[in-house]
Structure 1
Amino acid sequence: MPPSSTLPRSLVLGSTSRYRRELLARLGLPFDVAAPAVDETPLLHEAPRALALRLALAKARAVAALHPEAVVIGSDQVADLAGHALGKPGTHERAVAQLQLMSGHTVVFHTAVAVVCQASGFEQVDLAPVSVRFRDLSHDEIERYLRAEQPYDCAGSAKSEGLGIALLDAIDSDDPTALVGLPLIRTCRMLRAAGLVLP
């Protein structure tokens, strides 16, 4: 039997997000899912991009501490409207308020990903910003959209991979999966650097 250091590392997604789980499954790698125990409260005056980077790394480290031999992925997304962080609305009323704020404006979605392997000492974190320009939205359009899709677990209250695309004028990104919640181009790059074999 080869020494443990040459055995392939297992992969763990440090997230309970079904969107990230579905995205990672595209790579065809077996992986487990673990919920990271991380306080997601922003620090005082913390910029949205800094918040996304800090939380992605904190999630990966928290799960890696429980699975030290595994390669662990952590990710976080924060919507940034003129420097103001918009999180998951949670309720219909908050989603209405978010979409009213974003109507006619450009919002930057900062999607951070971190890959950590405690046993090998590997640690990387990266950010995939996505600029999204929202159309001018009427109250009726917002209500119809929210009733149809109920995106209350999505930062910014819209699913670009679903009906939410109808709310937008333009998307600018170098990683098309970043807006959904996990930037796969960057994730693949980091997993290869951590020693995993991808197609």
Structure 2
Amino acid sequence: MVPTPASAFLPIVPPALVLASTSIYRRELLSRLRLPFDVASPDVDESTQPGETPAALSERLALAKARAVSARWPHAVVIGSDQVAELDGAAVGKPGHHANAVAQLRAMRGRTVVFHTSVAVLRHDTAFEAVRRVPVTVRFRALSDVEIETYLRLEQPYDCAGSAKCETLGITLLDAIESDDPTALIGLPLIVTSALLRQAGLDTLAVHAGHGSVA
């Protein structure tokens, strides 16, 4: 009888997980998977390149963020994400301050806006790299100036693309949301993220079952 190697009884340790973002929204979303993870700032230039579409910008930045952090965490599974809103083919970014937010919401009222949320997952030690984009179509109500000012005074969503924080009071600005993933609009599409993590060798449910990585 061949003895079973002692290593067969050792627990499988899943790879470390790192979120390449300092966004509190993405941190909260990723925490829903109940996996331990670290957070690292990607420090990438988020400027739009000449002729770049909002969709392409979203994908490029998600991948650039993940690559920047993966270089510092070569044995970890790294998640990068980016969201760009699109109105009439042009990118709508984070307002940064009140005046910009007012201008954005006035431009979007009664209109349909597409929020492109991309997620990239990298694992340097296995040469795994993938990026996926989840578009979310949002139809804004015909908002009055008073409604816009009231919302901004209460919510102050100056760090949100398009000035609409849909997970809280921003939902009152909208007529409809169409998406394959309800978490995409908040900033990190968890359905796609979970699928990419499995491909990278980090199966969420397997980890919780005590089986660690499936890689």
| Fold shared per TM-score above 0.5 | yes
Query: For 1:16-36, what per-residue CA distance to the aligned partner results, in whole angstroms no more than 9, with x for missing partners?
Result: 000000000000000000000
Aligned amino acid, residue 182 of structure 2: P
Secondary structure of the equivalent of 2:34?
A: coil
Pair 1:45 & 2:59 matched: no
Which runs of 5 or more structure 1 residues have no equivalent in the other structure? Answer: none
Aligned amino acid, residue 130 of structure 1: V
Q: In the TM superposition, what is the alpha-carbon distance from 1:7 to its structure 2 partner?
A: 4.2
Which runs of 5 or more structure 2 residues have no equivalent in the other structure? Answer: 1-5, 206-215
Secondary structure of the equivalent of 1:42?
A: coil
Partner of 1:178: 184
Pair 1:158 & 2:173 matched: no
Taking the aligned partners of 2:95 and 2:21, their CA distance within structure 1 comes to 18
Partner of 1:91: 97
RMSD of aligned alpha carbons: 1.0
Taking the aligned partners of 1:147 and 1:168, their CA distance within structure 2 comes to 18
Residues paired across the two proteins, number: 196
| Identical-pair percentage | 66
Taking the aligned partners of 2:172 and 2:43, their CA distance within structure 1 comes to 35
Taking the aligned partners of 2:120 and 2:15, their CA distance within structure 1 comes to 16
Q: TM-score, normalised by structure 1?
A: 0.97
Pair 1:193 & 2:203 matched: no
Q: In the TM superposition, what is the alpha-carbon distance from 1:146 to its structure 2 partner?
A: 0.2
Q: In the TM superposition, what is the alpha-carbon distance from 1:198 to its structure 2 partner?
A: 1.1
**Which has more radius of gyration?**
2
Q: In the TM superposition, what is the alpha-carbon distance from 1:197 to its structure 2 partner?
A: 2.2
Partner of 1:77: 83
Q: In the TM superposition, what is the alpha-carbon distance from 1:102 to its structure 2 partner?
A: 0.3
Aligned amino acid, residue 181 of structure 1: G
Partner of 1:140: 146
Pair 1:10 & 2:28 matched: no
Q: In the TM superposition, what is the alpha-carbon distance from 1:157 to its structure 2 partner?
A: 0.1
Pair 1:111 & 2:122 matched: no
Pair 1:57 & 2:58 matched: no
